[in-house]
Structure 1
């Protein structure tokens, strides 16, 4: 079953620019703005728009639940994730590379040409803080399957066709009985309004399972695991070690604590448990995951 497409954009600054330490929100906002300006007929007001499921801006950024998982609410999990540059550099010179990826889940991949158009427009208009914005050139856009290590060019001056997808088979591979979650970007898990600091797998896995279930049912159209069995199997995974540090971000004027680092677990992983675990390498977990937070990789130890 086809579940996602991952696009990597290789850009180059044509002017000096200053960017924030964590760049996912900046990329997300710029692409969303250009999608809205190019394709939205309602000036970004999607609340009563009858075209929301056919509009690239509305569907990717604003779509409510289709009613498959929850009632039609506007805060439903969106079908995209930004994978920003993981470094914290803020100064970029003319000629320097700027590389990031975007994942589109399920049927949202029908808007890949419109996404590419918005990235090109972002380059023409420039990216950066108010202090210094720099124009970029899109040198190449590729579609990738990181599980199979396959890559095809989508854009390199001209537009090409690519049929590379990530499937459920790709997120079903076996992992070692001891495995590490290495967080590439900080994560913040919240339960009942409180930061989750006890990262036993039984506390971590439900966040993965909810993300997998929501995206699969909303955008792919089917859930292919036994949820109860997955939860039961997750109880057999034990936390063996952690190396974490706190990172503070200011969001809407409020300081919020995120965690970053590595977690090591051991135990037998069933197929029903592995699929959400491996899938969330694409979707990320926790607060503001679509901005790029909560991005991890699974490493067999």
Structure 2
């Protein structure tokens, strides 16, 4: 693996829609939206209809496959380390109860696009248009895409990328890696983490039911490593150039001082696998205490890329703040 500093950015998108017909979405909307967006992108760019993706000659140059069935790049020992390549996006959807939109009502959903995938943002806008025509949710409620915005790290509008039929390419991105993401160098103290969607961590093949910080940090580092390997802006695979051993040692010194998390189960139907899948994880709040000086920039990046299993559905989303000052 090359010891070169990779470039890994992300683009936070907000899609603003207006219902044409009533739309009904379940409490957890990430699975529904991911499936609908994938179907719309496939309908828009597939050149070999009715052929299974895994046997298609265009598999390694297809945008649908790149986003939704992200392949490993080859059969080298480095590639074979990964059972599945990480998808280059996450949906940032809250679990805030079922939603019904009447005709004419406005709603928005957020999506983070990672690394090289940013250059294909126009195709995601096209897919969102198509998704509006196909319909989403119970009864296939249709909608019009009104605007697509890019957001900065604080969630404020940065650029208007699409409106009134005009599409603009993004000029601003958020740097994910610690050398340049602009986060403060926090020191020792307490941090309150809020898991907004189920956090699915696995250790030794078993689901983790306690918010152990070393496991959280190790999972986040692996995720960043995988994203760099498959999606960094580089002509060759590049590893995450950070001191893993030192960071994991720091993580082991971070202690849980208050745990208000709980296990939450939810189900989704996988059309690809033809069965229901139960996807449980931790939700709620936990307060950690430790030295954050070297950990904070990486933990900050995790807010946009999520952590654990099911990130493309929006699972593993968290936020955090100073537990004493509320900052």
The TM-score, its normalising length taken from structure 1, stands at 0.90
The answer to whether the 8 Å contact 1:172/1:275 transfers is yes
Q: 2:82 and 2:202 mapped to 1: Cα distance?
A: 20
- Structure 1 spans left out of the alignment, 5+ residues: none
Relative distance call for 1:14 and 1:150 in structure 2 (3 A) is closer
How many residues are paired up? 298
What RMSD, in angstroms, separates the aligned Cα atoms of the two structures? 2.3
1:45 matched residue in structure 2: 52
The TM-score, its normalising length taken from structure 2, stands at 0.83
Q: CA deviation at 1:149?
A: 4.4
Relative distance call for 1:298 and 1:53 in structure 2 (3 A) is farther
1:258 matched residue in structure 2: 281
SS state at 1:197 partner:
coil
2:313 matched residue in structure 1: 291
1:22 matched residue in structure 2: 28
2:167 matched residue in structure 1: 159
2:210 matched residue in structure 1: 198
The answer to whether the 8 Å contact 2:258/2:286 transfers is yes
**The 10-residue stretch of structure 1 (139-148 or 258-267) with the greater mean CA deviation from structure 2:** 139-148
The answer to whether the 8 Å contact 1:188/1:258 transfers is yes
**The 10-residue stretch of structure 1 (107-116 or 218-227) with the greater mean CA deviation from structure 2:** 218-227
Deviations 1:135-161 (A, max 9, x none): 111111011222484510000111123
Relative distance call for 1:56 and 1:72 in structure 2 (3 A) is farther
SS state at 2:80 partner:
coil
Relative distance call for 1:292 and 1:121 in structure 2 (3 A) is same
Is 1:55 aligned to 2:62, yes or no? Answer: yes
The answer to whether the 8 Å contact 2:41/2:64 transfers is yes
State which of 83, 95, 103 in structure 1 corresponds to 2:104: 95
2:141 matched residue in structure 1: 134
SS state at 1:234 partner:
helix
SS state at 1:71 partner:
helix
1:32 matched residue in structure 2: 38
The answer to whether the 8 Å contact 2:219/2:308 transfers is yes
